[in-house]
Amino acid sequence: MKLLTRRQKTIFNFIISIFLLFLIWATMDFPSFSAEHAFLRSQKQYFIGPEKSIYEIPLAGKSKLMVSSDKNQIILGWVYKGILGAWKSDKLFTYARNDETKTTAVIVPEYAYSREDNLYNRQPILVFDNVPKAALANLYIKIGSETYSASAKREEHGFFCFYITKKYEYLNNNKSSSENESFRSLQLIHNKYIGIDYSTTVTLQFFDKDSKLLEERELTLSSNKQP
């Protein structure tokens, strides 16, 4: 005697599959189905936002750095693709925004490089707020005894993302390690580090689309905190 019809067996199989899929999701600690969603969830974990990302910096492998902001702070969140293509958040940092009349510059901390990173030699610096309507900008920053420069185009949401290329390859020799140490010190602009201000001055030059210099200004890097 057949206990169930084919229709009933099919429905039963689907119910079992849905239950198992939920179990898989639970086993993976309920990951998100998109990088954006993982980023929004991580903001809620720290009781901020949630604000949608306005910019993504792709990292090596399957991770991304998501950039967002609200009226008080710039939010950086690291997300990565885990097993079965599901996204999880990794870490979140916030940076105080000065106010809308002052420009804020943010150096992406070392944490971004903890996962097999292609940014190891490309240090991003983000510049927000009160940025002239320039098409291009140059950034100059003195780190240790070296002066670095980078150019960037204005992004969709009116900010600039500069990538500084490190001068020495990572070969464990003194020059590369001292360079990395200088960068690392700069990234630790954090009250937690007993008030030591590693910050440095950043010079920005803004150009219009015909490469005509519009403005030059100096500012210091914004301090970070884990929210």
Partner 1 sequence: MDAKSISDWLNIVCDKVKFIPDRKEIYQELNNHMEERMADYEEMGVSYEDAIKEVLAAMGDPEQVGTELNNSHKPYLGWLWYASKWMVRIVLLLCIWAFLNGTNPLTAYGYLFSGSKDFIVYDNNYKQAESETFSSILYHPDCTASLYGYTLTIPRASLHTYNEAAIENKDVTSATLFLTLRAEHRLPWADFPMGIQFLTTAIDSEGNFYNSSYDAITPSIYGNPTKRGLFYYEFELYIPNIDTHAAWIELHPGGNDEDNKVRLRIQLK
User: Which residues in this chain contact partner 1 in the complex, by CB under 8 A?
Assistant: 6-7, 9-10, 13-14, 16-17, 20-21, 23-30, 41-42, 44-48, 72, 82-84, 191-192, 194-195, 225-227
Work out how close the CB of 11 gets to partner 1 at its nearest, in angstroms, rounded to a whole number. Answer: 8
Residue 38: in which H helix or E strand, if any? helix 35-45
Best CA proximity match to 142, nearest among 224, 220, 225, 223: 220
Any bridge partners for residue 149, and if so which?
Answer: 140
Q: 13 vs 118, which CB is nearer to partner 1?
A: 13
Question: From CA 100, how far away is CA 105, in angstroms rounded?
Answer: 13
Q: Could you give phi then psi for residue 40, rounded to 5 degrees?
A: -60, -40
Dihedral sign for Cα 151, 222, 67, 131, please.
negative
Work out how close the CB of 7 gets to partner 1 at its nearest, in angstroms, rounded to a whole number. Answer: 6
Question: From CA 173, how far away is CA 138, in angstroms rounded?
Answer: 30
Q: 44 vs 142, which CB is nearer to partner 1?
A: 44
Q: 30 vs 170, which CB is nearer to partner 1?
A: 30
- Side chain identity at residue 110, one-letter code: E
Q: 50 vs 124, which CB is nearer to partner 1?
A: 50
Work out how close the CB of 185 gets to partner 1 at its nearest, in angstroms, rounded to a whole number. Answer: 18
Q: 28 vs 213, which CB is nearer to partner 1?
A: 28
Helix (H, G, I), strand (E, B) or coil at 62: coil
Q: 132 vs 227, which CB is nearer to partner 1?
A: 227
Work out how close the CB of 138 gets to partner 1 at its nearest, in angstroms, rounded to a whole number. Answer: 35
Work out how close the CB of 198 gets to partner 1 at its nearest, in angstroms, rounded to a whole number. Answer: 15
Work out how close the CB of 184 gets to partner 1 at its nearest, in angstroms, rounded to a whole number. Answer: 19
Cβ(96)–Cβ(223) below 8 Å: yes
Question: From CA 53, how far away is CA 37, in angstroms rounded?
Answer: 10
- Exposed (0-12), middle (13-18) or buried (19+): which is 90, by Cβ within 10 Å? middle
